[in-house]
Amino acid sequence: MTRQEKIYDLLVLGGGPAGLTAAIYASRSRLTVLVVEQMLSGGQIATTEKVENYPGFPKGIGGMELGQLLEEQARNFGSEMALATIEKVDLDGEIKKVHTTDGAFQGRTLIIATGTRSSPLGVPGEEELKGRGVSYCVTCDGAFFQDGTVVIVGGGDSALEEALVMTKYAAKVYIVHRRNELRAVRILQERAKANPKIEILYNTVVRKINGKDSVESVTLENLEQNNGWEIEVNGIFLYVGLLPNTEFLNGVLTRSENGYLITNDNMETAVPGVFAAGDVRKKTLRQVVTAVSDGAISAISAAKYLDQLTEKEGMK
């Protein structure tokens, strides 16, 4: 029987820490599980050079390695993996259908753990110079800027963490932040402020990214002084927040004003048998540790839902 013909107990959408943890827990509950991931196991964390705050790894662990280990653990307990892009879902009826670039998969329950992606900044030059100096991933592209000058936009954990990684390659790293106070956790602020290669430009925004074939400069504006100026740079990395990956749902499930999926404490959405876990969910703290927690809870909830269905069927 092909994977497309099979009816799985659980389809997990997204192979990040939330999805893979759900797969580990569900497989151990002896559910048949298929994880659908479009790119890399680990999701966003696979593009993080080092994860320092996941308990149990006092020396930190590479994001890519953590993703691979989570996948291995899920496979060890019997989870299957499909590499495909999700196009749409059909949540009506007892069997949920997930249409992908590799055909449609069927499941009696569904956990949506599709995470987030980087938000664009939306300035002139960004779209045109994407991949030619405009990037959203230091771990992927940082090494191209050896001894160069780069700008990192944003004041959150991602911006500061990646600015610090960038100092391994670049000669000079500007952090451009729109406020006079950083949002990132204190330890990252301390490290960034102490790093001689980093200069933080507060109350400053990027108005334009300039260049013909690749990024040559950025036009900045200081919001307090209302003055604009241009600095020559080789690259610009944008870390201005995240957008939830929910387009394939076509508005089917309840979402917050920012598009994140709304669940209760058991990770249940408004549709019976459909759960959400990890960064795609409306929550206050987006970390690996909260993603894996969501994943575990969602899997146990899915298993309970299936038990109740079986009980009901038995009473008929």
**Taking CB under 6 A as the rule, does residue 180 contact ligand NAP?**
no
**Taking CB under 6 A as the rule, does residue 222 contact ligand NAP?**
no
Residue nearest to ligand NAP (CB): 156
Burial 67-82 (b: 16+ CB within 10 A, else e): beebbeebbeeebbbb
Place of tokens 């870390």: 239
Binding to ligand NAP (CB under 6 A) within 87-116 occurs at none
Among 134, 159, 173, 175, binds ligand NAP (CB under 6 A): 159
The residue among 61 and 81 lying less far from ligand NAP, judged by its C-beta, is 61
Reply yes or no on whether 137 is catalytic. Answer: yes
Q: Taking a C-beta distance cutoff of 8 angstroms, is the pair 105, 13 a contact?
A: no
CA distances from 280 to 13, 45, 104, 157 (A): 11, 14, 22, 18
Q: Could you tell me the smallest distance in angstroms from the CB atom of residue 195 to ligand NAP? A: 16
Place of tokens 């949920």: 96
**Taking CB under 6 A as the rule, does residue 53 contact ligand NAP?**
yes
**Taking CB under 6 A as the rule, does residue 161 contact ligand NAP?**
yes
Among 240, 267, 280, 302, binds ligand NAP (CB under 6 A): 240
Reply yes or no on whether 140 is catalytic. Answer: yes
**Taking CB under 6 A as the rule, does residue 242 contact ligand NAP?**
yes
**Taking CB under 6 A as the rule, does residue 179 contact ligand NAP?**
yes
What 3-state class would DSSP assign to 303? helix
**Please, what is the Cα angle at 62 between 266 and 165, to 5 degrees?**
115
The residue among 102 and 126 lying less far from ligand NAP, judged by its C-beta, is 126
The Cα 112–Cα 233 span in angstroms is: 39
**Taking CB under 6 A as the rule, does residue 207 contact ligand NAP?**
no
The residue among 20 and 163 lying less far from ligand NAP, judged by its C-beta, is 163
CA distances from 307 to 15, 31, 166, 287 (A): 25, 11, 50, 30
Q: What end-to-end distance do the CA atoms of the chain give, in Å?
A: 29
Q: Could you tell me the smallest distance in angstroms from the CB atom of residue 161 to ligand NAP? A: 5
Binding to ligand NAP (CB under 6 A) within 57-76 occurs at none
Using a 10 angstrom Cβ sphere, with 0-12 exposed, 13-18 middle and 19 or more buried, the burial of residue 282 is middle
Catalytic residue among 9, 141, 157, 294: 141
Among 78, 80, 149, 156, binds ligand NAP (CB under 6 A): 156
**Taking CB under 6 A as the rule, does residue 286 contact ligand NAP?**
yes
The residue among 75 and 183 lying less far from ligand NAP, judged by its C-beta, is 183
**Taking CB under 6 A as the rule, does residue 155 contact ligand NAP?**
yes
Which residue from 25, 5, 8, 22 is spatially nearest to 112, judged by alpha carbons?
A: 22
Reply yes or no on whether 141 is catalytic. Answer: yes
The Cα 174–Cα 41 span in angstroms is: 31
Stretch that binds ligand NAP, among 127-135, 195-203, 240-248, 295-303 (CB under 6 A): 240-248
The Cα 175–Cα 134 span in angstroms is: 15
Active-site residue set: 137, 140-141
- Using CB under 6 A, list all residues that contact ligand NAP: 53, 121, 153-159, 161, 178-179, 183, 205, 239-242, 286-287
